[in-house]
Amino acid sequence: MRLAVAPNKADLDGLSDEELVEVARKGGDNAVRLLVKRNNRRLFRVARAVMRDDAEAEDIVQETYVSAFTKLDSFRGNSRFSTWLTRIALNEALGRVRKRRPSAELAELDICDGVNGGSVIMFPTSLKPPGADAELARKQVRNMLEKAVDDLPDPFRLVFTLRDIEEMSTEDTANQLMLKPETVKTRLHRARRLMRLAVEKHFSATFSELFPFDGARCERMADRVIERLRRQEGP
């Protein structure tokens, strides 16, 4: 693919990914740049779900784009461009895993967590605690959730990332991972349950610290009680 100066970015913002692909095929570097920005987050999340390493996930994303934009003619438009990119990223990531563990196949990793049933927890797409320390609190919660996701078994982590983080449909997730929809639902249920248990374990140690009533506040209460008792005793 040969890059050249193409229409201004402002003229491209309203185009769909598939329309941008047509511009990119003609050498539109602005179209390529916009397609990259639109798909960065999903590809990074998918790659990281497999590798559990930021640097390697970023490298996979870069390789995905290079592979895609040098072979744009192979994109036939039978699926969304983002779906096509995601498949390339998954293949790249899983290929690296297989090189490390030649006998490991995704289907073989479909292990059971040994616990059936259990309630399901749904995570908000936006974590915005109130107050001046909102950013710090949000970062702490995000770090905790990211670790919980990293600790999920491989197949559960992939499904959880696509379904609950990227909010892809069951059908699209099944197509991406070449699974039956029923398998996607089962893995998602188990992933959510493991996430719930991880969150409960993280916060259970702090339950005893909720609603503190100590220090000066406790002292003032004691003073008020003593004062009331003395008043009741009278002179």
pLDDT-derived band at 170 (thresholds 50, 70, 90) equals very high
The burial of 37, by beta-carbon neighbours within 10 Å (0-12 exposed, 13-18 middle, 19 or more buried), is given as: exposed
Most confident among 10-14, 116-120, 132-136, 165-169 (mean pLDDT): 165-169
For the chain, what is the mean pLDDT? 78
**pLDDT at position 6 over 70:** no
For the beta carbon of residue 168, count every other beta carbon within 10 angstroms: 22
User: Mind listing the domains of the chain with CATH numbers?
Assistant: 9-103 (1.10.1740.10), 134-209 (1.10.10.10)
- pLDDT of 8 above 80: no
Question: Dihedral (C-alpha) 170, 86, 51, 110: value to the nearest 10 degrees?
Answer: 30
Model confidence pTM above 0.75: no
Has residue 165 got a pLDDT over 70?
A: yes
DSSP string spanning 71-112?
-GGG--SSS-HHHHHHHHHHHHHHHHHHHHSTT--GGGG---
- Asked if the model's pLDDT at residue 159 lies above 90, the reply is yes
Q: What is the pLDDT of residues 100-143, one digit of tens each?
A: 865 444 443 443 333 333 333 333 434 444 555 667 777 877 88
* DSSP output for 138-187: HHHHHHHHHHHHHTS-HHHHHHHIIIIIS---HHHHHHHHT--HHHHHHH
Tell me the C-alpha distance between 75 and 201, whole Å.
46
Give the integer Cα–Cα distance in Å for 45 and 161. 7
More confident residue, 219 or 50: 50
CA distances from 62 to 8, 40, 52, 157, 185 (A): 24, 9, 16, 22, 31
pLDDT at 9 over 70: no
